[in-house]
């Protein structure tokens, strides 16, 4: 069953992709796009999920997808207008479908009540359901009381539903004689029989008469044939569809018994045409007579059989999305990529060590060895970049989850919100992406809950009732910058200050700049929501966001304008695996300072350094006085203070645009280093972000600039324990 589990896993992976396509498509439609290809893409997505789910007997999923698909089919055929309300329902249905997929994957129970309500809403959209009751045994919801016994909260199998729908049964006599080719193409007759049985009641008899004696038996020949008596509510097309992929490799005879009238030729032709159109993902959907109820009903079944065929490794003529995917991709186990990345990291270290040994051995620059080493270094860099690119992913995967969040939060808060995104294709390392979702979720919730005003307040302020949240990503100087902007009221600075003072976070009369007040919201234990709402305001707000971003080596800042809105900006490293750093020495220890933090380096002059009471010192740089931090002292490498004139100062900018000068003994050079976690085998060390291995094979520590700066400030005010907590 391992193979089956693997196929199932692939199915769920594909489902996630399809759900993404579905949501994007619906959002595009909501924006007024009427491209038939978009509608087709949406339809295909639901259709593929349904088809796959059918192959795995996920009845609940099939059922919901089927209802959804019916409505989408009307949309596709132009019988239903893509109005705002329709799309809103569809978006919620898409969310429900996603929940059902996840429930099926994790084996948990989905919210059946919500499912049934949404299924009812979908049926209500069906322009034809009203008169005909075409869809299933369930009555549609027109005029029906939802409390009635219409929607039972039990999983309803697809088969039952169909049997209920058209009470008149057909009887078929099927003769099926496979040719050897059928087996050669790895088809399995038993599965076809099983598929037939799923249509209705089948009596299967196998004909052994052509079976030769053992000596004459060709192991690759085909000697068996079957007669099947099938009683089903399906029509002949559904029965034939079971054999769709073996049609040319067998003799098949399907005869209907009794006085049931088949579809007329016209309808049949239209149906076949339509099926092909779906399968090949043709742009133009052929016209289907509006009354051709049978056709739209049966088509999914055909596709279901098709998916079963796919799952069995029998590629059908055209995979539903074959025409669409332009880039060839492969799925690779993440462990393998990680192993490769680790190995390349080792290679980089080794190459650096080799270079250093060569220099130590006194091999002249002119020698061929040096040239070879240079080339090796370049190649190693390129390999590293390429390997990192494998794991890089567009932030789309995280951004895609946000529209749903926005819808849910909007409903909960009673606000009208529109989410726009930009730069979804900005790529960043997978490890960063994974840890981006939580802070981003929180920021968006905050933007809607705290940032945006209620529709009434907005109207009063002369703004459109619909609030805007803009989510964007871009690359800037080797980092990824993600912004969450809202057009709400902006930060209420007097109130923020009052609350901070009330909670004892600041002194009441502390003179603070606007920027400093804005940054108060990042303090632990700060929450401005007057009522603790369901969404945010549990007092674990922005400080948690800030901490999780800092843990990623990132920074977060806020800009806010009263009445115009706030913008949160996160800046994150593109990868958590390598870092460009400046190698420095401090009290005999080698340290690496992340290059992104450094603005400039300078040699302090004696008259530029001023004492500032206690151990605090400042340095004058172009008319600005900047706190001087002795790294060696800060990290307890030495008890005294270094002489600034014999040291080098690194002007750094830490979070919140705070500038400080870090005093180190000497600069050794710049280098790309491979980040090694200290937490793996040890624990977090205050003031240290991680470790790395330098060219001489020794471990060097990577300085956590923000923590050192923050630590020095706390230390200056005398709370040494807080500094240790870092």
State the DSSP H helix or E strand holding residue 228, giving kind and residue range, or none if neither.
strand 225-232
Q: Could you tell me if 704 and 723 are in contact, meaning their C-beta atoms sit under 8 angstroms apart?
A: no
Stretch that binds another protein, among 269-277, 441-449, 532-540, 685-693 (CB under 8 A): 685-693
Is 457 a binding residue for another protein by CB under 8 A? The answer is no
Question: Helices 36-55 and 293-311: crossing angle, nearest 10°?
Answer: 60
Among 233, 501, 678, 716, indicate the residue that binds another protein (CB under 8 A): 678
**C-beta closer to another protein: residue 299 or 706:** 706
Instruction: Measure the CA–CA gap between 536 and 194, rounded to whole angstroms.
Output: 51
The terminus-to-terminus CA distance of the chain in angstroms comes to 50
Residue 603, classed as helix, strand or coil, is: coil
Stretch that binds another protein, among 58-66, 459-467, 560-568, 691-699 (CB under 8 A): 691-699
**C-beta closer to another protein: residue 286 or 726:** 726
Alpha carbon separation from 639 to 576, 587, 626, 634, 722 (Å, rounded) = 33, 10, 22, 9, 19
Contact partners, residue 199, CB within 8 Å, separation at least 6: 159, 230, 232, 234, 238, 239, 242, 301
Query: Residues 702 to 721: which contact another protein by CB under 8 A?
Result: 721
Question: Helices 265-279 and 293-311: crossing angle, nearest 10°?
Answer: 40
Count interface residues toward another protein (CB under 8 A). Answer: 33
Stretch that binds another protein, among 81-89, 504-512, 554-562, 676-684 (CB under 8 A): 676-684
**C-beta closer to another protein: residue 413 or 692:** 692
Q: How far is the CB of 162 from another protein (least distance, A)?
A: 53
Is 209 a binding residue for another protein by CB under 8 A? The answer is no
Is 272 a binding residue for another protein by CB under 8 A? The answer is no
How many Cβ atoms sit within 10 Å of the Cβ of residue 409? 24
Instruction: Measure the CA–CA gap between 88 and 288, rounded to whole angstroms.
Output: 26
Is 642 a binding residue for another protein by CB under 8 A? The answer is no
State the DSSP H helix or E strand holding residue 702, giving kind and residue range, or none if neither.
strand 699-703
Q: How far is the CB of 694 from another protein (least distance, A)?
A: 9
Alpha carbon separation from 495 to 449, 546, 595 (Å, rounded) = 16, 21, 38
Which structure tokens are listed for 335?
């462990």
HSE-up of residue 22 (Cα within 13 Å, Cβ side): 29
Query: Residues 284 to 343: which contact another protein by CB under 8 A?
Result: 342
Q: Could you tell me if 163 and 170 are in contact, meaning their C-beta atoms sit under 8 angstroms apart?
A: no
**C-beta closer to another protein: residue 350 or 454:** 350
Instruction: Measure the CA–CA gap between 569 and 650, rounded to whole angstroms.
Output: 25
Alpha carbon separation from 433 to 342, 398, 597 (Å, rounded) = 19, 7, 22
Q: Could you tell me if 186 and 309 are in contact, meaning their C-beta atoms sit under 8 angstroms apart?
A: no
Instruction: Measure the CA–CA gap between 480 and 426, rounded to whole angstroms.
Output: 8
Among 12, 223, 526, 637, indicate the residue that binds another protein (CB under 8 A): 637
Q: How far is the CB of 678 from another protein (least distance, A)?
A: 6
**C-beta closer to another protein: residue 397 or 550:** 550
CB neighbour class for 280 (10 Å; exposed up to 12, middle 13-18, buried from 19): middle
Residue 251, classed as helix, strand or coil, is: strand
**C-beta closer to another protein: residue 437 or 688:** 688
Is 559 a binding residue for another protein by CB under 8 A? The answer is no
Stretch that binds another protein, among 113-121, 278-286, 467-475, 684-692 (CB under 8 A): 684-692
HSE-up of residue 648 (Cα within 13 Å, Cβ side): 18
**C-beta closer to another protein: residue 595 or 685:** 685
Residue 695, classed as helix, strand or coil, is: coil
Among 36, 551, 697, 717, indicate the residue that binds another protein (CB under 8 A): 697
**C-beta closer to another protein: residue 101 or 591:** 591
Is 551 a binding residue for another protein by CB under 8 A? The answer is no
**C-beta closer to another protein: residue 125 or 663:** 663
Instruction: Measure the CA–CA gap between 235 and 296, rounded to whole angstroms.
Output: 13
**C-beta closer to another protein: residue 559 or 713:** 713
Instruction: Measure the CA–CA gap between 143 and 120, rounded to whole angstroms.
Output: 11
Is 689 a binding residue for another protein by CB under 8 A? The answer is no
**C-beta closer to another protein: residue 529 or 685:** 685
Among 700, 705, 710, 715, indicate the residue that binds another protein (CB under 8 A): 700
Q: Give the x/- contact pattern for another protein in 561-590, rule: CB under 8 A.
A: ----------------------------xx
**C-beta closer to another protein: residue 327 or 680:** 680
Alpha carbon separation from 533 to 327, 330, 402, 528, 676 (Å, rounded) = 45, 44, 20, 11, 40
Is 605 a binding residue for another protein by CB under 8 A? The answer is no
Is 677 a binding residue for another protein by CB under 8 A? The answer is yes
Q: Could you tell me if 294 and 260 are in contact, meaning their C-beta atoms sit under 8 angstroms apart?
A: no
Q: How far is the CB of 567 from another protein (least distance, A)?
A: 33
Among 300, 403, 490, 687, indicate the residue that binds another protein (CB under 8 A): 687
Is 639 a binding residue for another protein by CB under 8 A? The answer is no
Is 210 a binding residue for another protein by CB under 8 A? The answer is no
Query: Residues 336 to 395: which contact another protein by CB under 8 A?
Result: 342, 345-346, 349
Q: How far is the CB of 589 from another protein (least distance, A)?
A: 6
Is 695 a binding residue for another protein by CB under 8 A? The answer is no
Q: How far is the CB of 243 from another protein (least distance, A)?
A: 54
Is 725 a binding residue for another protein by CB under 8 A? The answer is yes
Is 698 a binding residue for another protein by CB under 8 A? The answer is yes
Question: Helices 402-413 and 84-106: crossing angle, nearest 10°?
Answer: 110
Is 205 a binding residue for another protein by CB under 8 A? The answer is no
Q: Could you tell me if 535 and 512 are in contact, meaning their C-beta atoms sit under 8 angstroms apart?
A: no
* Burial letters 674-694, b for 16+ CB under 10 A, else e: bbbebeeeeebbbbbbbbbbb
Among 327, 329, 513, 680, indicate the residue that binds another protein (CB under 8 A): 680
Q: How far is the CB of 633 from another protein (least distance, A)?
A: 11
Contacts to another protein by CB under 8 A:
342, 345-346, 349, 589-590, 635-637, 676-678, 680-688, 691, 693, 697-701, 721-722, 724-726
């Amino acid at each position: 069953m391992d193979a089956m589990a693997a196929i199932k896993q692939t199915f769920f992976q594909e489902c996630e992709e399809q759900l993404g396509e579905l949501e994007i498509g619906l959002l595009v439609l909501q924006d007024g796009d009427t491209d038939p290809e978009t509608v087709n893409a949406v339809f295909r997505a639901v259709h593929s999920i349904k088809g796959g789910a059918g192959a795995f007997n996920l009845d609940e999923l099939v059922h919901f997808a089927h209802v959804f698909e019916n409505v989408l089919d009307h949309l596709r055929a132009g019988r239903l207008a893509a109005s705002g309300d329709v799309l809103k329902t569809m978006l919620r249905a898409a969310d429900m479908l996603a929940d059902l997929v996840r429930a099926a994957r994790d084996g948990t129970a989905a919210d059946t009540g919500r499912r049934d309500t949404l299924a009812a809403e979908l049926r209500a959209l069906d322009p034809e359901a009203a008169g005909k009751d075409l869809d299933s045994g369930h009555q549609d919801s027109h005029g029906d009381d939802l409390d009635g016994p219409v929607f039972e909260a039990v999983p309803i199998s697809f088969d039952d539903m169909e049997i209920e729908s058209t009470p008149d049964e057909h009887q078929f006599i099927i003769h099926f004689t496979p040719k050897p080719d059928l087996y050669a193409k790895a088809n399995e007759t038993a599965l076809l029989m099983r598929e037939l049985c799923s249509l209705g009641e089948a009596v299967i008899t196998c004909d052994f008469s052509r079976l030769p004696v053992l000596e004459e038996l060709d192991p690759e020949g085909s000697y068996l044939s079957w007669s099947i008596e099938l009683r089903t509510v399906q029509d002949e097309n559904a029965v034939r569809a079971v054999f769709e992929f073996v049609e040319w490799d067998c003799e098949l005879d399907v005869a209907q018994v009794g006085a049931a009238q088949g579809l007329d030729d016209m309808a049949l032709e239209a149906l076949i045409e339509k099926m092909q159109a779906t399968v090949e993902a043709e742009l133009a959907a052929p016209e289907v007579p509006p009354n051709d109820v049978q056709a739209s009903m049966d088509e999914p079944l055909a596709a279901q059989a098709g998916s079963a065929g796919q799952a069995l490794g029998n590629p059908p003529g055209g995979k539903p999305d074959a025409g669409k995917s332009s880039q060839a991709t492969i799925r690779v186990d993440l462990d393998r990529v990680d192993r490769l990345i680790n190995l390349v990291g080792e290679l980089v270290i080794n190459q650096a060590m080799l270079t250093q040994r060569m220099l130590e051995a006194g091999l002249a620059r002119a020698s061929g060895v040096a040239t070879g080493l240079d080339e090796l270094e370049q190649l190693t860099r390129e390999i590293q970049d390429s390997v990192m690119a494998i794991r890089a992913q567009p932030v789309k995967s995280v951004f895609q989850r946000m529209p749903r969040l926005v819808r849910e939060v909007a409903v909960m808060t009673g606000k009208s919100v529109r989410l726009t995104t930009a730069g979804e294709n900005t790529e960043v390392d997978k490890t960063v992406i994974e840890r981006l979702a939580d802070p981003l979720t929180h920021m968006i919730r905050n933007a809607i809950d705290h940032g945006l005003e209620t529709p009434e307040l907005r109207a009063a302020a002369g703004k459109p009732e619909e609030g805007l949240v803009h989510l964007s990503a871009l690359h800037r100087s080797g980092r990824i910058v993600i912004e969450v902007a809202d057009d709400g009221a902006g930060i209420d600075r007097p109130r923020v200050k009052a609350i901070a003072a009330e909670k004892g976070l600041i002194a009441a009369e502390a003179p603070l700049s606007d920027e400093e007040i804005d940054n108060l919201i990042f303090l632990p234990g700060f929450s401005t929501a007057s009522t603790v709402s369901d969404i945010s305001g549990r007092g674990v707000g922005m400080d948690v966001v800030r901490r999780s971003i800092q843990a990623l080596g990132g920074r977060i800042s806020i800009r806010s304008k009263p009445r115009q809105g706030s913008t949160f900006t996160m800046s994150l490293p593109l990868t958590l695996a390598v870092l460009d750093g400046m190698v420095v020495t401090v009290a005999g220890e080698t340290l690496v300072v992340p290059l992104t933090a450094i603005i400039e380096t300078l040699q302090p002059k004696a008259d530029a350094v001023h004492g500032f009471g206690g151990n605090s010192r400042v340095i004058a740089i172009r008319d600005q006085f900047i706190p001087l931090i002795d790294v060696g002292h800060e990290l307890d490498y030495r008890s005294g203070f270094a002489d600034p004139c014999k040291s080098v100062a690194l002007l750094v900018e830490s979070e919140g645009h705070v500038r400080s000068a870090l005093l180190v003994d000497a600069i050794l050079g710049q280098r790309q280093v491979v980040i090694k976690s200290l937490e793996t085998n040890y624990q977090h060390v205050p003031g240290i972000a991680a470790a790395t291995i330098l060219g001489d094979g020794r471990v060097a520590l990577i300085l956590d600039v923000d923590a050192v700066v923050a630590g020095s400030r706390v230390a200056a005010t005398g709370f040494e324990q807080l500094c240790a907590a870092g």
